[in-house]
Amino acid sequence: IIQELKAGSEEAYTWLVGEFHQPVYSVVYRILTDPADAADTTQEVFLKVFRGMKHFHGESSLKTWIYRIAIHEASNRRRWWFRHKAKETSMEPGENSLEGPFAQDTNPALVDHHKSPFEMVADHEVHARVEEELRQVAEPYRTAVVLRGIEELSYEEIAEITQVTLGTVKSRITRGRDALRKRLTGYVREVGSEIGLSVEQDDEDFQIQRSRVEVTS
């Protein structure tokens, strides 16, 4: 596929976009927290990928190379935003920010069509609250949590993407999870008994649990 991409195959590029568009958007959105900015930046990422394919020599996997470009572009966009627009408008997403492409991020395993309306509303509220609190976790810890817990990348892949040591990756993930857990603990204590939520922390993961349904951060 790499050779086909380098040769400019339209079918190969169609495959590339289909394979990586949603993961790239997911990561970019969680760095920028604005759907419109995330969509624009995702387009820029793929332009960089297409233009830079001739310089890709396989030192890393195609996936980690694309993720690295995505994080670089999103981080640059975020810095630009704070320099030029922070005083003009808020980065907080609108009421419909969970619609559109981002809505596809929901883990299919969490969708249970046999749930009652109350349970489905509860799941939506939990997801929304996790995303809201995740946006408040400082960088680079938020990105580390996203890559590990949401994108399900290995520690080695994250180290390669972010170009830091394995120890630094593990430290960032731990600190990010701790920060997210602290932000969510009050919410779970407040409403957890009503909808069967609990917060669990172990060496490998942080989870909000409701019955057998797990929302992994």
pLDDT digits 0-9 by tens, 68-94: 999 999 999 888 766 666 555 444 444
How much is the pTM?
A: 0.69
Q: 216 pLDDT band (50/70/90 cuts)? A: very low
Range from 1-15, 33-47, 197-211 carrying the lowest mean pLDDT: 197-211
Cβ 138 vs Cβ 179: under 8 Å: yes
Residue 122, H or E segment: helix 117-134
Q: Indicate the average pLDDT of the chain.
A: 77
pLDDT at 191: 72
Q: Please, what's the b/e burial string for 31-47 (b: 16 or more CB within 10 A of its CB; e: otherwise)? A: bbbbbebbbebbebbbe
| Domains contained in the chain, CATH given | 1-105 (1.10.1740.10), 112-217 (1.10.10.10)
161-204 pLDDT, tens digit per residue, is 999 999 999 999 999 999 998 988 888 777 766 656 555 544 44
Top pLDDT among 99 and 152 is at 152
